[in-house]
């Protein structure tokens, strides 16, 4: 009867570690797609909202309203998928939390504050359209933006701490006996990782929302409403992209200096050497040889430290004991993910450059259909780049969960039924993802139909009674 305690016996008892890893990776990968929308969409809606109030722009007002309604759905789903992660910290990694919770938890306690603010004000903003006056209503949206930024910076502080643990004292039994909260939060990796993710949130959110309107424009809906729906988010993304190139480059150099195993995995460096080539694609074999791919001589060394050029020495994987560095399979995963992130990032940068050049020379977005076609897949590309970036940092940290202190295998739960929960979670999340897309699409269809009928969604207008409560409904302020 008790399948979870059939220790070692029977097919139901399976080593939980790989399943715990898979479940954590899967749920994180799903949740992170919603994060940029939660962080940056409110900002974009406020840009539209601002424009609407300042210039009496009806199209902008409609956009802001509709975006807030889509946000209601994505925020709800993001809140509950985030809750799953909260539970999973304990369910999948109880030994990690038991040992390190006193330090690792600190950034989350601050994140809790921001989450509170976000949940409260998003409700005010979404539900306040008809009853609050325009400017007070606008200002209820501002805390959402601030909370999104603060929340990102806090959560990433926790992740950065796993890469660069700091701010604690251990006793001889390896227990945390003293904590310096500020050093935990402001660990050395934090400024780089946090700014990278924050810019990514605006970049991905911008491209994702813009891509929907690019598709609409390609379908011939070239009205001012769609144009604005494209321009606001795309401009945000096109500002974020060049910034991200600089931030990402700085982070990579920090990784070179501080996380040598991760860097060696990124660059496929098996032996410590200078004049290391930058290998595009390709793979590391178990004998330490790199096959396939295109090697650009000396570039990895040069990028690591331009001041010493190609003579820069890059530490190889062989400089570390085999049980303290990623396995060959993990190295190849990290390297491929790195190529995907940098490759897609570069393409998005070129797309942004195209947009800016058109603005500079013609004061208008590029007219060509090709631009819209590329822009319509830019959202997906940006999501993939972000996912790949997380793969680099998470897989690149292996085998550690707290680098240098605790390995993933020592952190996991002993519950042997994790494979079951993994399967259940995958099924539920796939259904959830499908439904989210269908619901958002059906909302968009309904919005279009409404315009054709009559847009009864009068902003800041009188409240309508509930449908089912007929004339008894008290017409408050109506």
- Indicate the burial class of 323 (C-beta count within 10 angstroms; 0-12, 13-18, 19 or more): exposed
Nearer to other proteins, 288 or 414 (CB): 414
The answer to whether 318 touches 264, Cβ cutoff 8 Å, is no
Crossing angle, helix 369-395 and helix 16-55, to 10 degrees?
Answer: 140
- Report the C-alpha gap between 279 and 301 in whole angstroms: 11
Q: Which of 2, 172, 286, 307 binds other proteins (CB under 8 A)?
A: 2
Nearer to other proteins, 360 or 466 (CB): 466
Residues 6+ apart with CB under 8 A from 81: 27, 30, 31, 34, 429, 432
| Of 1, 9, 11, 17, residue with least CA distance to 415 | 17
- Report the C-alpha gap between 133 and 121 in whole angstroms: 15
Nearer to other proteins, 171 or 286 (CB): 171
Q: Does 422 bind other proteins (CB under 8 A)?
A: no
Nearer to other proteins, 123 or 299 (CB): 123
Nearest distance in Å: CB 3, other proteins: 8
Nearest distance in Å: CB 232, other proteins: 20
- Report the C-alpha gap between 29 and 433 in whole angstroms: 12
Q: Which stretch binds other proteins (CB under 8 A): 72-80, 231-239, 326-334, 387-395?
A: 72-80
Nearer to other proteins, 86 or 368 (CB): 86
Nearest distance in Å: CB 437, other proteins: 11
> How many CB atoms neighbour CB 335 within 10 A?
27
The CA dihedral of 456, 458, 461, 465, to the nearest 10 degrees, is 30
Nearest distance in Å: CB 408, other proteins: 16
Q: Does 434 bind other proteins (CB under 8 A)?
A: no
Q: Are strands 176-179 and 278-280 parallel, antiparallel or unpaired?
A: unpaired
Q: Which of 13, 22, 53, 76 binds other proteins (CB under 8 A)?
A: 76
Nearest distance in Å: CB 198, other proteins: 21
Q: Which of 281, 424, 430, 437 binds other proteins (CB under 8 A)?
A: 424
Nearest distance in Å: CB 218, other proteins: 24
- Per DSSP, the residues of 234-290 read HHHHHHHHHHHHHHHHHHHHHHHHH-HHHHHHHHT--S-BSS--EEES-EE-TTS-E
Q: Does 413 bind other proteins (CB under 8 A)?
A: yes
Q: Which of 10, 55, 90, 448 binds other proteins (CB under 8 A)?
A: 90
| Of 267, 256, 191, 261, residue with least CA distance to 403 | 261
Nearest distance in Å: CB 116, other proteins: 5
The CA dihedral of 234, 238, 239, 245, to the nearest 10 degrees, is 140
| Binding string, residues 92-111; x marks residues near other proteins by CB under 8 A | --xx-xxxxxxxxxx-xxxx
Q: Does 75 bind other proteins (CB under 8 A)?
A: yes
Nearer to other proteins, 113 or 294 (CB): 113
Q: Which stretch binds other proteins (CB under 8 A): 91-99, 201-209, 251-259, 272-280?
A: 91-99
Crossing angle, helix 328-362 and helix 369-395, to 10 degrees?
Answer: 150
Nearest distance in Å: CB 382, other proteins: 24
Q: Which stretch binds other proteins (CB under 8 A): 209-217, 354-362, 393-401, 456-464?
A: 456-464
Nearer to other proteins, 373 or 445 (CB): 445
Q: Does 166 bind other proteins (CB under 8 A)?
A: no
Q: Which of 14, 142, 146, 176 binds other proteins (CB under 8 A)?
A: 176
- Indicate the burial class of 136 (C-beta count within 10 angstroms; 0-12, 13-18, 19 or more): exposed
Which 8-state DSSP code applies to residue 363? S
Q: Does 425 bind other proteins (CB under 8 A)?
A: yes
Q: Which stretch binds other proteins (CB under 8 A): 201-209, 286-294, 389-397, 462-470?
A: 462-470
- How many Å is the Cα radius of gyration of the chain? 25
Query: Within positions 4 to 33, which residues make up the interface with other proteins, using CB under 8 A?
Result: 4-5
Question: How many residues at the interface with other proteins, by CB under 8 A?
Answer: 95
Q: Does 457 bind other proteins (CB under 8 A)?
A: yes
Nearest distance in Å: CB 47, other proteins: 21
């Amino acid at each position: 009867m008790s399948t979870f305690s059939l220790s070692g016996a029977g097919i139901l008892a399976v080593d939980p570690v790989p399943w715990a890893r898979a479940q954590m990776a899967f749920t994180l990968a799903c949740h992170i797609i919603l994060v940029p929308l939660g962080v940056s969409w409110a900002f974009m809606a406020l840009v539209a909202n601002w424009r609407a109030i300042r210039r009496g722009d009806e199209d902008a007002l409609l956009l802001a309203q509709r975006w807030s309604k889509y946000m209601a759905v994505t925020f709800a789903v993001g809140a509950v998928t985030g809750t799953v992660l909260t539970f999973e910290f304990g369910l999948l990694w109880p030994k990690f939390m038991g040992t390190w919770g006193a330090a690792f938890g600190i950034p989350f306690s601050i994140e809790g504050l921001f989450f509170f603010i976000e949940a409260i004000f998003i409700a005010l903003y979404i539900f306040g359209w008809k009853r609050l006056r325009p400017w007070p209503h606008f200002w209820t949206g501002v805390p959402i933006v601030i909370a999104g930024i603060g929340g990102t910076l806090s959560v990433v502080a926790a992740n950065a701490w796993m890469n660069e643990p700091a701010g604690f004292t251990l006793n001889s039994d390896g227990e945390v006996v003293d904590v310096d909260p500020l050093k935990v939060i402001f660990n050395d990796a934090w400024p780089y990782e946090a700014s990278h993710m924050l810019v990514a949130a605006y970049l991905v959110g911008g491209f994702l929302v813009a891509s929907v309107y690019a598709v609409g424009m390609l379908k011939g809906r070239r009205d001012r409403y769609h144009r604005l729906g494209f321009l606001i988010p795309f401009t945000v993304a096109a500002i974020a992209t060049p910034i991200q190139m600089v931030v990402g480059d700085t982070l990579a150099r920090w990784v070179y200096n501080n996380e040598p195993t991760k860097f060696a995995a990124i660059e496929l460096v098996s032996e410590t050497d200078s004049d290391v080539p930058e290998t595009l694609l390709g793979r590391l074999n178990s004998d330490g040889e790199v096959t396939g791919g295109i090697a650009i001589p000396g570039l990895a060394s040069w990028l690591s430290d331009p001041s010493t050029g190609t003579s820069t020495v890059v530490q190889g994987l062989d400089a570390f004991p085999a049980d303290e560095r990623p396995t060959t399979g993990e190295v190849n995963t990290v390297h491929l993910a790195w190529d995907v992130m940098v490759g897609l990032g570069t393409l998005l940068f070129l797309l942004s450059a195209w947009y800016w050049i058109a603005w500079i020379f013609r004061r208008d977005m590029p007219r060509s259909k090709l631009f819209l076609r590329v822009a319509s897949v830019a959202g997906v590309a940006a999501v993939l780049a972000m996912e790949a970036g997380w793969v680099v940092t998470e897989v690149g940290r292996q085998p550690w969960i707290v680098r240098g202190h605790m390995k993933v295998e020592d952190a996991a739960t002993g519950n042997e039924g994790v494979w079951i929960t993994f399967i259940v979670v995958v099924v539920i999340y796939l259904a959830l993802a499908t439904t989210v897309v269908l619901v958002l699409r059906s909302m968009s269809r309904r919005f279009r139909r409404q315009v054709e009928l009559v847009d009864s969604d009068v902003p800041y207008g009188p409240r309508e009674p509930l449908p089912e409560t007929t004339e008894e409904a008290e017409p408050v302020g109506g």
